[in-house]
Structure 1
Amino acid sequence: MISKLNLENILFLDIETVPETQHFTELDKTKQELWEAKSRYQRKEEFNAEEFYDRAGIRAEFGKIICISVGYFTKQGDARLFRTTSFYGEEPHLLKDFKNLLTSHFSQAKHLLCAHNGKEFDFPYIAGRMIIHNIELPYKLNLFGKKPWEVPHLDTLELWKFGDYKTYTSLKLMTNVLGIPSPKDDIEGSEVYRVYYEEQDIDRIIRYCEKDTIAVARIFLRLRGDAILEADEIIHV
């Protein structure tokens, strides 16, 4: 049961991604054709491949990670604290910095990674981008040969489903129904492409990503029946 897990052994995280280039025309011809084929089913007849390209960031083969925000619980005397920090910049560098955190502080069997829809998005996306950049996968992301119960990942979406695999509940909806402050009070995921490429405001994206990470931690606490994480318990490093 999740109520028996030690909070200090869990690394909460969220990632923000964008298409690998700002414009579809910046891709080489082969990559354009591959995106046209990959996106055909989803866009159907409503958009052509170029018009649909702003959504390429959700695919690890056509996108890139621009921010990984993490958070973890610590104790200061009897006080509970939640420390957050973010990795950003050139993708190879932020991936290596994130890997260093995993290998130095969250590499033991007791350690777990937690994200919302992380098993279908965040964790495989990070792993895929590491492989693309020739970065050896850290133990916590290398799932080859592992049985389902050996995978060191928690997913608040999966926990909320309680075995129902038919539905998807967004982070925004979950915070709403659980009475948690929404992380979407400035921008939402669909706006990250514009903020990154047009406004070039990475600080705004970092703040947004950290809010999502905090929201994941708050949802996890609610699922455990623990006291809500208050603003004065959060430390931005």
Structure 2
Amino acid sequence: MTDEFRKRAKNFLLLDIETVSAFASYDQLPERMQKLWDKKTLSFRKGDETLSNAEYFYDRGAIYSEFGKIVCIAFGAFYWNDHDEISFKVSSFSGDDEADILLQFKALIEKYPPEQLILCAHNGREFDFPFLCRRMLIHCIEIPKALQISGKKPWEILHQDTMDLWKFGDYKSYTSLDLLAAVFDIPGSKNEMSGDQVTRVYWEEKDLAKICRYCREDVVVLAQLYLRLHCFKAVPPENIIRIE
């Protein structure tokens, strides 16, 4: 573990978000949004009529910020315990009120100096960070400075993305967090559920606690992966603290 990393760790926050379709079904979408969703499906349907627009909404609505919403934001940070051993603490904000979740997250990251805070997520540049910003705008919540990247030069943006770190400039394919965890022999987070089940678990099982456990475990995997991508040893399991 380098002295530079230990210094940066105090302003380093790893995160993951879980999103679901904003409505329990396509039929509950306002008529105007139904028409716009029908148009949206044309961009990825590509002649495939296997699923109806309603089925596509339930299956894919969660990944679009215009049609989905955030139900959980998990976040974690490295620290060193009394024995000077690297440790990790993870917690989460969740609920049915998306605006309240976003306000809690905004308050959290504004505790850090915006010019020093490093946010890290897997595929964060393409998904987590823009999704958070768009949903904040929809709720008329001012975007924290740490998430504002408009007009900034690339080297001024402190965000870290483990998928980018793995790509080394290769943009031909997507590599999942689960796959990289397997490659680096890191215990996975898919024991209880997987990402494609979040909408169903939320709307049908109404088990938000289950979603939050899954989201927090993704952040634990993210933290271990980040360390391995820098050739650091993983955090020992006994040094990981989970706060529900």
Aligned length: 235
Q: Does 1:210 align with 2:216?
A: yes
SS at match of 1:73: strand
Stretches of structure 1 lacking an aligned partner (at least 5 in a row)? none
**In the alignment, what sits opposite 1:42?**
44
Query: Aligned match of 1:150 in 150, 156, 164?
Result: 156
SS at match of 2:55: coil
Q: Does 1:93 align with 2:97?
A: no
SS at match of 1:157: helix
Q: Any conservation in 1 of the 2:181–2:221 contact (CA below 8 Å)?
A: yes
Show CA shifts across 1:117-171 (max 9, x none).
0000000000000000000000111111111111120000000001111111001
**What is the RMSD of the two structures over their aligned residues, measured on CA atoms?**
1.4
Q: Any conservation in 2 of the 1:3–1:224 contact (CA below 8 Å)?
A: no
1:24–1:234 distance in 2 versus 1, CA, 3 Å: same
Q: Give how far 1:79 is off.
A: 2.5
SS at match of 1:190: helix
Show CA shifts across 1:60-93 (max 9, x none).
0000000000000122231322111100111000
**In the alignment, what sits opposite 1:192?**
198
Q: Give how far 1:3 is off.
A: 8.9
**In the alignment, what sits opposite 1:56?**
61
Q: Any conservation in 1 of the 2:19–2:62 contact (CA below 8 Å)?
A: yes
In the alignment, the residues of structure 1 paired with residue 158 and residue 85 of structure 2 have an alpha-carbon distance, to the nearest angstrom, of 27
**In the alignment, what sits opposite 1:167?**
173
Q: Does 1:234 align with 2:236?
A: no
Amino acid at match of 2:177: L
In the alignment, the residues of structure 1 paired with residue 171 and residue 64 of structure 2 have an alpha-carbon distance, to the nearest angstrom, of 22
SS at match of 1:50: helix
Show CA shifts across 1:33-78 (max 9, x none).
1111112121233322111011100000000000000000122231
Q: 185-194 or 116-125, which moves further after superposition? A: 185-194
Stretches of structure 2 lacking an aligned partner (at least 5 in a row)? none
**In the alignment, what sits opposite 2:78?**
73
In the alignment, the residues of structure 2 paired with residue 73 and residue 177 of structure 1 have an alpha-carbon distance, to the nearest angstrom, of 23
1:203–1:166 distance in 2 versus 1, CA, 3 Å: same
SS at match of 1:211: helix
Q: Any conservation in 1 of the 2:87–2:236 contact (CA below 8 Å)?
A: no
Runs of 4+ with deviation above 4 angstroms: none
SS at match of 1:51: helix
Name the TM-score, length of structure 2 as normaliser: 0.93
Identity %: 43
In the alignment, the residues of structure 2 paired with residue 92 and residue 128 of structure 1 have an alpha-carbon distance, to the nearest angstrom, of 12
1:75–1:211 distance in 2 versus 1, CA, 3 Å: same
Name the TM-score, length of structure 1 as normaliser: 0.95
SS at match of 2:196: helix
In the alignment, the residues of structure 1 paired with residue 3 and residue 213 of structure 2 have an alpha-carbon distance, to the nearest angstrom, of 29
**In the alignment, what sits opposite 1:82?**
88
Q: Any conservation in 2 of the 1:43–1:52 contact (CA below 8 Å)?
A: no
In the alignment, the residues of structure 2 paired with residue 137 and residue 72 of structure 1 have an alpha-carbon distance, to the nearest angstrom, of 22
Q: Does 1:13 align with 2:15?
A: yes
